[in-house]
Structure formats: C-alpha cells, structure tokens
C-alpha cells in the first residue's frame, strides 16, 4: 500500500518548513512565486491530498452538506437531491446522501455521522414516525444548521421548507367536485405525518366550505407496498364509477398494480387523481391527473434557506411552495 504524501514529505524534499509548504499551497502572498511553483509541482507529482479531517476540525465544518431522506427510491427525492447538488456545486460544496429507511434509530445514526463529519448543514425529510427532537436539538448544540423539507416535524421550532400541503389537498378536492363525484376514496400516508395532516385538512376544509354533501373514505398507509392490501376491502362493484385519490407518488405506485390486478380501466371503470412530482403520472396511459409537488423547485428553495442561515439569517421560518393542477385522462 502506497504511503500518502504529506506536508512533511514535501518540506523534507524541498528543504523548506512545513508552514511554508502549507502557505505555498494556499497561494499565500508571503511565499515567493518560485517557491510556490516548486511546492505545487512536487505536490502534484506526489499526488498530495489535503487532510480533510484536520481541515474540518480547524474550520469547525466541512464543505459538505448532508441530505437525509426516508428512501431515495422516490422520484420526488431524486429531483430534490439533484437541485440541492447543483446549487451546492456552484458554491463549492459537495453533498452526502443518507437514508433513514423510516427507522428512527437509523435516522439518529445518520445525524451522528453528520456531526462526526462536521457537515456544513443538513437537509432532512423525517421518517414516518420521527419524534427525534432530542437528536435535532443536538445538531443545534453542535452549530450545524438543519433545513427540514417535505416531511417535517409536526411540532417544534424548526426551519421548514414544504409544499403547500393544505393548498394541494384543497385543489385536489376542488377538481374532484368539479368532476361531479359525490363520494371518493382517499389513500393517505401515515396519519401522524405533517404532510398527511396538511393534505387531509385541505380536503376537509374545502369540502366543508364548498361541497358539504360530498363524502369520502379516508384510508391510511405507512408504506406504498401495503396499498393493495388496504384496498382489498372493496369489491370491483363497490369501486365501479368511484374516484381514488392518492396522496403521493409512493401510494400511486401501490394503486396502479392494484387496478391492473383487478382489471379496472381508467377512466371507464374508475377515476384516479394523485399528488405527484409529475414524472410517474406521465408514464401511464392514459396519463394520470395530478397536483404537482415539484421536488426540483423545493430543492432550490431549501438550498436558498440554508444559504441564508449560513449568512447569519438564523431566525426560524417556514416557507411553502405553491402547487399546480395538471390534467390527464384518468378522470
């Protein structure tokens, strides 16, 4: 195994001090152009790499952001991560991507890893049952800023960047009412999650105000793979002519196989509306109608908030990203 190049090795080769080598590599004005040239040429020849751990300790943080999500498989998170990585790269940062697998213990371990690496900041979508407030508070104690996005703590004084979930729920209800449905089935996420609470409240508030005669079954599921089992309670005749509302792409991925297995066609047998990042609905024929929740735009908004915090604007706030309806052939 090759011994890594060090500042001391370079200094020994050139018969200059370690501090001179360090300053030369940083283009310090106190070092002559000739010495800089010699140091940099030798450093490149020896494939010298700075000790990032030591640098992080000295700077108190690294040039690294962490993004923690329940699962990377979600297309929404793909687009969010892509936006954050793009913005981070423009400012000289890299990103580290971690998954909590909807496991509070793993989420805590990920946060511990972030502290160990002295990350510059953390973007986190919490797991479905997260009550990790002590772990979040410890990040504050280490002066590591956190921006919560998409799935955020329902309570607590945290920086949050979210979709306008109540608006998304209300817009969904509006489109369902406009299509003349008097009863529909809403498949929602975990009832304890802020994202579920917001979207369900939006539906209920709209119906109460504008269509009190419209009713719906509200079903809760903590993982998309359980959707088919959840919907098995309905016979085909009970579903005929009804509308299924999906709260997310993850749930949509469970609904489509269920409809295929039952032989139910869109929109002849059943209607479908989802809240989505927009990628999955366009894969189906007919295209599924959806309320857009744009991961890319949310990622840019989250990075902007993180930049503000790093620039000293640390007053906690919550920002919402508006949503939009896109028509398809499923209603």
Tens of pLDDT along the chain (331 residues) come to 445 678 888 888 888 888 888 888 878 888 898 998 998 888 888 877 666 555 554 555 678 999 999 988 767 899 999 999 999 999 989 999 999 988 889 999 999 999 888 899 999 999 876 666 788 888 988 889 999 999 998 777 899 999 999 999 999 999 999 999 999 999 999 998 889 999 999 999 999 999 999 999 999 998 778 999 999 999 999 999 999 999 999 999 999 999 999 999 999 999 999 999 999 999 999 999 999 999 999 999 999 999 999 999 989 999 999 999 999 999 9
**122, burial (CB in 10 Å: exposed 0-12, middle 13-18, buried 19+):** buried
What is each CA distance from 86 to 66, 243, 270, 299, 311, in whole angstroms? 14, 39, 40, 10, 19
Q: Residue 1 has what pLDDT?
A: 41
Instruction: Report d(CA 184, CA 179) in Å as an integer.
Output: 11
- Residue 64 near residue 117, CB atoms below 8 Å: yes
SS3 readout for the chain: CCCCCCHHHHHHHHCCCHHHHHHHHCCCCCCCHHHHHHHHHHHHHCCCCCCHHHHHHHHCCCCEEEEEECCCCCHHHHHHHHHHHHHHHHCCCEEEEEECCCCHHHHHHHHHHHHHCCCCEEEECCCCCCCCHHHHHHHHHCCCCEEEECCCCCCCCCCEEEECHHHHHHHHHHHHHHCCCCEEEEEECCCCCHHHHHHHHHHHHHHHHHCCCCEEEEEECCCHHHHHHHHCCCCHHHHCCCEEEECCHHHHHHHHHHHHHHCCCCCCCCEEEEEECCCHHHHCCCCCEEEECCHHHHHHHHHHHHHHHHCCCCCCCEEEECCEEECCCCC
Instruction: Name the nearest CA neighbour of 198 among 136, 127, 275.
Output: 275
Give the residue among 241, 259, 273 at the shortest CA–CA distance from 176. 273
Residue entry with tokens 């002849």? 268
188-217 in b/e form (b: 16+ CB < 10 A) is bbbeebbbbbbbbebbbebbeeebeebebe
Contact 243, 185 (CB under 8 A): yes
Token pair of 180 as six digits: 């003349």
Q: Residue 6 class from Cβ within 10 Å (0-12 exposed, 13-18 middle, 19+ buried)?
A: middle
Cα four-point dihedral sign 125, 127, 133, 137: negative
Residue with tokens 């945290």: 158
Per-residue tokens: 243: 């509308």
Tokens of 249: 């792409």
């Amino acid at each position: 195994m090759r011994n890594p190049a060090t500042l001391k090795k370079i200094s020994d080769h050139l018969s200059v001090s370690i501090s001179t080598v360090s300053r030369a590599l940083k283009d310090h004005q106190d070092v002559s152009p000739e010495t800089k040239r010699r140091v940099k040429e030798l450093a490149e020849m020896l494939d010298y790499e700075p000790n990032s751990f030591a640098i992080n300790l000295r700077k108190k943080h690294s040039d690294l952001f962490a993004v923690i999500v329940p699962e990377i498989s979600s297309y929404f998170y793909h687009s969010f991560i892509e936006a954050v990585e793009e913005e981070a790269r423009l400012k000289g940062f890299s990103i580290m991507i971690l998954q909590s697998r909807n496991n509070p213990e793993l989420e805590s371990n990920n946060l511990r890893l972030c502290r160990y690496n002295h990350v510059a900041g953390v973007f986190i979508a919490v797991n479905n049952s997260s009550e990790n407030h002590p772990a979040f508070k410890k990040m504050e104690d280490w002066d590591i800023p956190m921006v919560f996005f998409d799935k955020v703590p329902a309570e607590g004084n945290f920086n949050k960047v979210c979709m306008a979930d109540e608006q998304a729920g209300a817009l969904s209800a509006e489109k369902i009412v406009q299509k003349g449905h008097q009863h529909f089935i809403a498949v929602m996420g975990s009832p304890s999650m802020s994202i579920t609470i917001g979207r369900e409240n939006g539906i209920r508030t709209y119906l109460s105000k504008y269509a009190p005669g419209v009713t719906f079954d509200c079903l809760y599921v903590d993982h998309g793979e359980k959707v088919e089992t959840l919907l098995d309670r309905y016979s085909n005749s009970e579903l005929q002519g009804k509308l299924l509302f999906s709260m997310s792409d993850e749930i949509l991925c469970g609904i489509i196989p269920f409809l295929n297995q039952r032989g139910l066609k869109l929109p002849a047998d059943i209607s479908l509306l989802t809240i989505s990042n927009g990628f999955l609905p366009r894969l189906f024929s007919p295209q599924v109608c959806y309320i857009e929740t744009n991961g890319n735009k949310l990622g840019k908004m989250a990075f902007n908030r993180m930049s503000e915090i790093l620039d000293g604007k640390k007053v906690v706030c919550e920002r919402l990203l508006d949503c939009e309806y896109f028509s398809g052939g499923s209603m």
